[in-house]
Amino acid sequence: MTSKLDQLRQMTTVVADTGDLDAIRQWQPRDATTNPSLLLKAVSSDAYRSLVEQALAWAREQDRSASPDPVLAGDCLAVLAGEQILESVPGMVSTEVDARLSFDRDATIARARELTQLYRQRGVDTDRVMIKIAATWEGIQAARVLEREGIACNLTLLFSFTQAMACADAGATLISPFVGRILDWHLAQAGLDAIEPGEDPGVRSVQRIYDYYKAHNYRTIVMGASFRNQGEIEHLAGCDRLTISPQLLESLSQDTGTLERRLDPGNASQTETYPPLDERGFRWHLNEDAMATDKLADGIRRFAADQRQLEKNLGDWIQAA
């Protein structure tokens, strides 16, 4: 019998939501995406000791110092991890800009260029690399500039239709709506333990964005992310891409039921039309969405905390060397 994972791959590009190279090799996704949280988990494992040592050595070369900046070491580690991931996937890898730059357009642009240059130094085809940026107003405007330079951008921590509209207007290559974190917020607000996948607000958010993009011929790719259960994935079957954890990939691979296609560009019917958002309009509409405001801020804080911990760990390695 054909598994639901195999059926899903017939209608959606499956992306691995992990920095674990062994898991990527096992599940053989087309693309992979990482973030500071995933890198932190990876470097906490002895299996990645050699990769960390290689990153520190490379950072010393870049910094021409025996004690390189842990921020630079973190970027070198992210690029080395991305390079290794690209050896195991046929498509693309996303590498994230420091979340602490989420409200600084120019600093985000500069860091994205630096990451791209580090990939070039390693001889990596940067057409296979996406730079991952938080979908703040500043991040979206940074993506507008980078896309014109040929640097593909993945706008992450996306929780609202307002963010999705602005990303499409900026010409972003891809957006990552966070399905599970939207659900988390609504469950907490309602005091519930679960919501049926068909009524899941995270699922409905992605369905609305997908229909809007397809009906209006936006080229921006919709990639659902941050899933809490298999049902959310099944109700988004047919979405452009879905980034899925190894645990849920395993669940899908063991399920031999029939998977129905839920999203199809040919069935997109979206009568909503909106003028392009300026900064004032973007900030106002985002402010009116309590869930999106809360979860965007929380996501940035979490990624920033993991980035700081990653850099602390790298700093300890530098001092111990």
Tens-binned pLDDT, residue by residue, of the chain (321 aa) = 799 999 999 999 999 998 788 889 899 999 998 788 878 887 777 777 888 899 999 999 988 877 889 999 999 999 999 999 999 999 999 999 999 999 999 999 999 999 999 999 999 999 999 999 999 999 999 999 999 999 999 999 999 999 999 999 999 999 999 999 999 999 999 999 999 999 999 999 999 999 999 999 999 999 999 999 999 999 999 999 999 999 999 999 999 999 999 999 988 876 677 888 999 999 999 999 999 999 999 999 999 999 999 999 999 888 886
Instruction: Report the candidate in 121, 84, 113, 120 with the shortest Cα–Cα distance to residue 97.
Output: 113
User: In this predicted structure, what is the pLDDT of residue 65?
Assistant: 78
214 is catalytic: no
Q: How many CB atoms lie within 10 A of CB 67?
A: 14
Q: Which of 4, 41, 132, 214 is catalytic?
A: 132
**Eight-state DSSP code of residue 46:** G
Give how far the C-alpha of residue 120 lies from the chain's centroid of Cα atoms, to the nearest Å: 21
Q: What is the pLDDT of residue 270?
A: 67
Whole-angstrom distance, CA of residue 256 vs CA of residue 258: 7
Within the chain, where are the H helices?
Answer: 4-9, 21-27, 36-43, 49-63, 70-86, 105-121, 137-148, 161-170, 179-190, 201-215, 230-234, 246-254, 279-288, 290-320
Task: Determine the pLDDT at residue 312.
Answer: 93
Backbone angles phi, psi at 217, to 5 degrees: 60, 35
For domain 4-18+28-266+273-320, the question of CATH label 3.20.20.70 is answered with yes
Q: Quick one: pLDDT at residue 212?
A: 94
